[in-house]
Structure 1
Amino acid sequence: MPLDKPYQGVPGTTIFDADQSRKGYWLNQFCMSLMKAPNRERFKADERAYLDEWPMTEEQKQAVLARDLNRCIELGGNIYFLAKIGATDGKSFQQMAGSMTGMSEEEYRNMMIGGGRPSTWTPPAKEKK
């Protein structure tokens, strides 16, 4: 029986839960492999060949190649694992997050210093028994 997921209705948000974890297992394992310098070198030398060593879906591989981190998240990627791709590319976490929001690094930083984005979402009311 699937768990109730009242958080699924948050606009523009993918929650990394157990289902997402299972979906993105190999994508996240690939990302973790980039913690080792020899693997980063192999990936940078031939990204497609390195990705093909992992049993990821073609969609996941294409999202990595395009550096479409929002799509990677939809496909099960965890942002803390995906940060390894950014680090491999010489990008800071702040630069990555900015690119994911369509903002410059400075715009993103200023938004976060200012308290982040306002949320208009409210959780659904629980049914009374």
Structure 2
Amino acid sequence: MTMTASRPTGHPGYSETLLRRPESVATARRLVRTALAAWDMEELADDGALVVSELVTNAVQHARSEVIRLVVSRPGPATVRIGVVDKSKAPPQHRPSGNEDDSGRGLVLVAGLADDWGTDLLPWGKRVWSELHRKDSR
């Protein structure tokens, strides 16, 4: 895990390069929970863990590189941003899923839990991100 210099909020960001493997989902959840505990924002831990699980799972399934990058930052006093960077330029897409399908609901879950989410295209890939806000700040 890497901590970056303080942001305008006075809090460092956290990031880690992960292998594009299913086991990395658990590592990503731990990093999000660690950052939220350090920032005294544990009330977002369950939603943050679920959001990062879905974002990392999508990258594991669809990215083209051997590694992905997880970045957890605090752009505002009551806001946490979780971003997953990979080398695929293909944006994530909502897939229709039926009652019997085992997958295809991840982005719906992210959209339902997050206060905002989106994709930033990069020269060599993309960053899919989600923002969570403290309940008392909405």
Same fold (TM over 0.5): no
TM-score, normalised to structure 2, is 0.28
Structure scoring higher RCO (CA < 8 A, sep ≥ 6) equals 1
Which structure has the greater CA radius of gyration?
Answer: 1
